[in-house]
Structures are given as C-alpha cells and as structure tokens.
Chain A
Amino acid sequence: MVRISNWPLYIDDRTIPEFQQATGITVQYHEDINDNNEFFAKIAEPLRRGQSIDRDVIVLTDWVAGRMIRLGYATPLDVAAFPNRVNLAPLAQDADFDPGRRFTVPWLFGMVGLGYNPRVTGREITSVGDLFDPAFKGRVTMVTEMRDTLGLVMLGEGRDPMKCTVDDIRAAAARVKQARESGQVRAFTGNDYTEDLANGNIAIAIAWSGDIQGLHADNPDLRWVAPREGAMLFSDNMLIPKTSDRVALAMRWIDWCYAPAHSAQIVSRAGYISAVQGAIPALERIAPALARSPLVNPPPAVLSQLRNFRALSDAEDSEFTRIFLDAIGG
C-alpha cells in the first residue's frame, strides 16, 4: 500500500482506481495538506527523530520541498524506476530549490495572479495596482502565502522576486500593511476566497489560476488574469519523505502520474498546469475546451511573464516570514 498526502481537490476520480487496478498496489490517499507551514510543522518533529510519518509520497510547494531537501528529510528519486521521467516538460527540468530534480518532480504548476468578478468591478482588471484602487475598498483579498502575495506586490512595484532583497520585501510588506490597516484588504485567505468571489462579496482577489478555472462552471463571469507587470509561478511537487520504507511503490505511483494520459486526467479536475509533455494533446481528447484554456495551457506571452520567487536560506525565510506576518496582522 502506498500512502499519499496531497492538497484537497487536486486529483480526479479515475487516476487512483486505474492505478490500483493496473498495478495491484492499494493507494491510501489523504487530502490533509491545507497550509504549507501547518503541514511542515506537523511532520518536522517526527522526521527530525527519524520516525515514520506514515506517508510515502507528499506533495509540497516548491519552497517547502526545498526546506525538506536542505534538512535531509527527502529520499532521492530512483531514476531507474522512473521511465516516464523523459516526459518531464522543459519548464520543469531544473529547479533552484532542487538542482537536477533529484528529489522532486512537479505534481502541477500554478500561476498566481488576479481573480476578479467583472460584474462587481465594472471594468477589466489588468494591473497589480488595481488591488489598491480605493474604488474596491473592503472588497479585496490577498493570500496568506508570503511568496505569492509579496511576490505579486513586488512585481507591481517593478521589482523582480527572483532577485529580491530584504528591503524590497520590507517595502512590499509596508504597502500590504497599509492596505490592511486602511480596510482596503478585507481578508488574507487560503482557498476560501473562491466563494466570496463567486458571490460578488469580493471584487478582486489574489488568486490561484486553478481555483478560477474550477469556478467557471458555477460562475462563467469570473476571470483570472496575469497582471501586465507579471505573475508568479509556483509548483507543487511530489517528494518521498526520508522515513518511507516503500520507495519502490512510491516510484510506481510517481511514474504512473507522468504518463501524459494520466496527467491529463488530473489536470481535467484540478485545472492547473501539467509538467508532463504530451499532456495537452491528451487533454484535447477528454476535455477539449479545457485544453484550450489559457489557465491550463498558457500562451508563450504569459509564460514569459511568469516569475519564480528566489530560493531563500532558512534565516531569510524566517525573517521575511516575520515581516510578512507583522504586515498581515501578527
């Protein structure tokens, strides 16, 4: 039995049954990751002691995966058992948090931009500055992920998150703090902005592309846009914790997910971007409209605008997090 932890609603209905049937390996699938810091805090102590966390594959956002690797909590992927690795998209070949992709491969990529409800805003939204437009006072939300919120705000100020300094962070955080104190920003959210956006309680939200993609069914008006100053790119990555005693099973699962057809299945439900070459043509067959959506299949113009947040040392991570937490309310 292979034990997996993932974010909620990040997989479709067919992948697990088909995997179980084809390989004979049972899957215990947990959707218990709701927040990177919360999840990391839960598993850090047992891993530090070398104790099992009852998981063989966990899906973590790039920077947390990087922290796990740095602390030695991750098992290298067994390349010999990973024939589908050749399908790894160019975008994903290398990563600054995991050079050479020795420990992780992406589950999905996502974009951080602006989600908005045109019926509430009354106009198109194109820029990070729109978040601070007084016309939308009290109807703006930002996310609790430091890299996503501050990254976007920095882009809006013409700073590059891939090269940001602590002063850039301070400036962006100060702007966020001011917006919070003045009541411009109504809340700092996880995925819970989606309902308020769909209902019209919120005009603009810092939003993850897949969330808006998923909302289209209920509210076709909703839009996601990459601001003209740029958008953030993130990846959620599969990683094998060091205390897992079922590496072979974990590799079977990872390899399965890297077949284009299976990746397409996952994307069809999650609404995010696949890291597997050939997934889009496969998606054309099962969900043609989705395969043409710019949120799942971004055009080169958008891709060129996407920025990563640079990898941080532990000391920088702590400091930047403290600055951000202070800005959003302590």
Chain B
Amino acid sequence: MRRLLDAAAGLVLGYLFLPIFVIVAYSFNSPAGKFNFVWKGFSVAAWLDPFRYPALVEAMQLSIIVAALSTLMATVLGTMLALALSRYRFRGAGGVGLLLVLPLATPEVVLGSSLLSLFLTLNVPTGFATIVIAHVMFSVSYVAFTVRARLRGFDWSLEEAAMDLGAGPWRVFRTVTLPLITPGIVAAAMLAFALSLDDFVITLFNSGSDVTYPLYVYGARRAAFPPQINVLASAILGLSLAVLGVNAWWQRRRMRAT
C-alpha cells in the first residue's frame, strides 16, 4: 500500500517534469522547417547561436527588466501589507485581506481586460509602464500571502525587548525583525519574479506594441518557432535551479550556524 502511494506520487512528479524534459531535449533539435514540434536530429547549433533572433532577445530583455522592476515594487508593497496584517490588530484588517484575495479569485482574462479598459478610458497609451503596473498589481497579493505565512509564529516580543533596551522602532526593524524575515521576503520576491516573467494573459492586454518573451512565443505559434526559444527557456530553468540550490544551501548553513 505504501509502495503504491510512493509509486503514484513518483508518477505524478514524472508527469510534472515530462514537458520540461521535452523542452530541454528539443533545444537540441535541428528542425527542418519553421516549427520545432517534430524531432529531426541532434544538433547543438541553437545553443551555439542562442541570440540569433534579435526580436526574441529583445523580448527576453524586456521580460527580465519588467520582472526586476515589478518584483522590487511588489515586494516592498506586499511585505508592508504582510507586516501590518501580522503584527497589528486594526479595524479594516479583514477588508484588506479580502482586497488581497480578490485578484487571486479573478480570471486573468478579466484582470487584463479590465485594466486595459481603464487605460483606454483614461487615454493612457499601453506599453512598458502599463505592463509594469499590471505585474505589480497581481504580484502584491502573492508576496503579501507568502511573507505573511512566514510571519506566522514570529515572536514579536523580540521587538519589544529590543525597544525596552532603548532602540528606536526603525533600528529595531532593521537589526532585529528584518534579518529574521528576510528568507520569507526572498522567497516572495522569487515568486513575484517568476510570476512576472511567466505572465502572458494580463500582459497581452496591456503591452501595446511591446513584446515580452511570453508574447513572442505566443506570436511564434502562427509564424515560426525556432529552437532558440527552447534554448532560452532551458537557460532560465538552469539559472532558477541554480538560484534555488544556492538559496537552499545558504539556508542549511544558517540553520547549522544558529
């Protein structure tokens, strides 16, 4: 029975990774035509020339810049919200919580299209700024909930102790609270970054003529799908794996030190 359960879990994990293997494998494909859906032969050509398609590279660059900027803003806003909700009891906390949950419960099509209708009504041209605005909007909730989860069980009396010792509130925050909640903030920031990089639907509605990496891939479905798309996706995967690995190793070290 136990074995069956483990086997089932293993199968599901394998199922989760099946497309990943295909993505990486097909970055080594040498497709005959414009599309990359049938295996033709092994080749490292795409890896040796990953930046062959300037439009793809520009799209990737835009995605990374948007992700960095929106992660920064969303992490600040979301962490502040999480701190407020965890540390204090105040009227309207329930309302704030509801406001945070609602975007998660709204289909992306509606989030994207409503934002577009706002911009259209206000005559704001869609482009880089509107993409960032949209990304911050949907990331704030995720950051707030992630940091809040980490703050559960946080011993706030540490802050009180520090203040009793004479430290001002900002100093207390900086030297006592912040170091302890940093892992949670880092996790939330990584989540926000991934969400931004990955976002397609909301960006589709609010990008104007700017093209992010997911938008490029979507356009490619009709026209041409070079293996370089797989190369860049695999590269991102590799980098993320590295970051996760480093973060895990660093956590282990800190845990052993304390």
A/B contact in complex, CB under 8 angstroms: yes
> If A46-B208, A192-B35 touch, does A7 touch B223 (CB 8 Å cutoff)?
yes
Q: Which residue of B lies closest to A218 (CB)?
A: B32
Assess A218 versus B33: contact at CB under 8 Å? Given A189-B222, A191-B222.
yes
Q: Does A290 contact B (CB under 8 A)?
A: no
Q: Is B84 an interface residue (CB 8 A)?
A: no
0 or 1 for each of A138-151: is its CB under 8 Å from B? (1 = yes): 00000000000000
Chain A: interface size category: 20 to 34
B55–A195 contact, CB under 8 A? no
- Residue A17 is within 8 A (CB to CB) of chain B in the complex: no
Query: Which B residues are closer than 8 A to A by beta carbons?
Result: 32-35, 37-38, 55, 120, 123, 125-126, 208-209, 211, 219, 221-224
Which B residues touch A313, using CB under 8 A? none
A223-B85 Cα distance, complex, nearest whole Å: 67
CA distance A35 to B220 in the complex (A): 11
How close is A170's CB to chain B, nearest CB, in angstroms? 27
Given contacts A30-B55, A32-B211, A42-B208, whether A195 and B224 have CB atoms under 8 Å apart is no
**Contacts of A195 on B, CB cut-off 8 Å?**
33-35, 37-38
Dominant secondary structure at the A interface: loop
Given contacts A8-B224, A30-B55, A32-B55, contact A194 B34 (CB under 8 A): yes
Q: Are B55 and A192 in contact (CB under 8 A)?
A: no
> A76 on the interface (CB 8 Å rule)?
no
Q: A217 to B208: give the CA distance in the assembly, Å.
A: 37
Q: A53-B209, A189-B222, A190-B221 are in contact. List 20 more A-B contacts (CB 8 A).
A: A9-B223, A9-B224, A30-B55, A32-B209, A35-B222, A42-B209, A45-B208, A49-B123, A49-B125, A54-B209, A190-B222, A191-B222, A191-B223, A192-B221, A192-B222, A195-B34, A195-B35, A195-B38, A214-B33, A218-B32
Among A34, A35, A51, A53, the one with the most B-chain Cβ atoms within 10 Å of its Cβ is A34
**A314-B227 Cα distance, complex, nearest whole Å:** 40
Among A31, A53, A190, A217, chain B packs the most CB atoms within 10 A around the CB of A31
What 5 A-B pairs have minimum CB-CB distances, sorted nearest first?
A190-B222, A8-B223, A218-B32, A195-B35, A42-B209
Given contacts A195-B37, A215-B33, contact A31 B55 (CB under 8 A): yes
The answer to whether the Cβ of A199 comes within 8 Å of any Cβ in the partner chain is yes
- CB closest residue in chain B, given A53: B209
Taking a contact as CB atoms under 8 Å apart, the answer to whether A34 and B223 are in contact is yes
Partner of B209, one of A43, A194, A199: A43
